[in-house]
Structure 1
Amino acid sequence: MIDNRIALAASLFALAFCGMPAAAQPDTGSPASFAAAAPSPHAAELVDGEVRKIDKDSKKLTLRHGPLKNLDMPGMTMVFQVKDAAMLDQVQTGDKVRFQAEKIDGKFTVTQLEAAR
């Protein structure tokens, strides 16, 4: 029982303070190692947003958006990289969109983008 609590505490510390995923820690077979390997329940959610600015030269998109649960981020306006530059040709300033973003190589990146219905 104590070993499981120690493994859980170590996993949480690694996630919160070291930026290392808990799954990178040795697998001890504890419940903490199974939970760390599970995909985020919010990973597939699309978030509502509004296009505020398009910068094709830098492959960036400024979006006003609601909370990004998978990134533990509140709603705000911010600049994102785009995974595929062709995404920028699909939108215009003022468009309502739905999107998914992830942190890739330390940069917040739009990985999926579609017009809001």
Structure 2
Amino acid sequence: MKIRKILLALLPLLAAATILPARAAADTGNSVNPADTGNAAGAPGAVQAEAAPMTDGEIRKVDAAAGKLTIRHGPIANLDMGAMTMIFRVQDPALLEQVKEGDRVKFIVVRANGVLTITTLAVQPPAQ
């Protein structure tokens, strides 16, 4: 329980770490394209999806009504997260129509405004 409280306390610091470099560049006169932050509006908490590597996973559940996928996944390098099964929100609800339970996928997940969000999803061919 203490670890959970500590992690929750650290979340704002992690968000600040992604925002500060963009603000520092803007303050020094360097141009920062809001699209480079993964959010066209340049909103606080936005992250860069293009730099995130693809992660292997298997769809365990599709919840179209909630806009979420449960995925058993390998390590997520850009989030420093180990392998586990967890629920992710999808950025584009159309992604939910591309998958079904049991599909093997590669995906990119980022922390956008404090929420783990899948930005890219590709179904992999069945293993031979």
Scaled by the length of structure 2, the TM-score of the pair is 0.63
1:44 Cα deviation after fit: 3.7
Give RMSD over aligned pairs. Answer: 2.6
Tell me the equivalent position of 2:94: 86
Change (3 A) 1:25 1:110: closer
CA distance in 1, matches of 2:122, 2:57: 10
% same residue: 42
For the residues of structure 2 that align with 1:93 and 1:80, how far apart are their CA atoms?
A: 14
How far did residue 94 of structure 1 move? 0.4
Of the candidates 49, 52, 75, which is equivalent to residue 60 of structure 2? 52
Distance 1:17 1:56, change over 3 A: closer
Residues matched between the structures, number: 92
5+ residue gaps, structure 1, are 1-14, 30-38
Unaligned runs of 5+ in 2: 1-9, 29-46
Give the structure 2 partner of residue 18 of structure 1: 13
From the superposition, tell whether residues 100 and 63 of structure 1 become closer, same or farther in structure 2 (CA, over 3 Å).
Answer: same
Moved over 6 A (4+): none
Larger Rg: 1
Determine the C-alpha separation between the residues in 1 that align with 2:69 and 2:24: 38
- Residue 25 of structure 1 deviates from its aligned partner by 7.0
Deviation at 1:55, TM superposition (A): 0.4
Q: Aligned with 1:57: secondary structure? A: coil
TM-score by length of 1: 0.68
The 5 A counterparts of 1:1-117 are: 18-19=13-14, 20-21=16-17, 22-23=20-21, 26=24, 43-117=51-125
Name the amino acid aligned to 1:94: G
Q: 2:3 — aligned with what? A: none
